[in-house]
Amino acid sequence: MENNNKIKKAYFASGCFWGTEYWFSKAVGVRATTVGFMGGYVENPTYQQVCTGTTGHMECVEVEYDTNETDYENLLKLFFETHNFSQTNGQGPDIGLQYLSCIFYSNEQEKQAAEKCIDYLQKNGYSVATQLRDATTFWRAEDYHQQYYKYKGTRPYCHIYKKIFK
16, 60, 102, 117: which is the annotated catalytic residue?
16
CA–CA dist 39, 66 (Å, integer): 25
Known catalytic residue: 16?
Answer: yes
Q: What is the DSSP letter of 134?
A: E
Which residues, at least 6 apart from 79, have a Cβ–Cβ distance to it below 8 Å?
12, 14, 20, 103
Cα dihedral across residues 18, 19, 24, 25: positive or negative: positive
Closest CA to 120 of 157, 83, 165, 88: 165
Q: What are phi and psi of 115, to 5 degrees?
A: -60, -40
Catalytic residues: 16
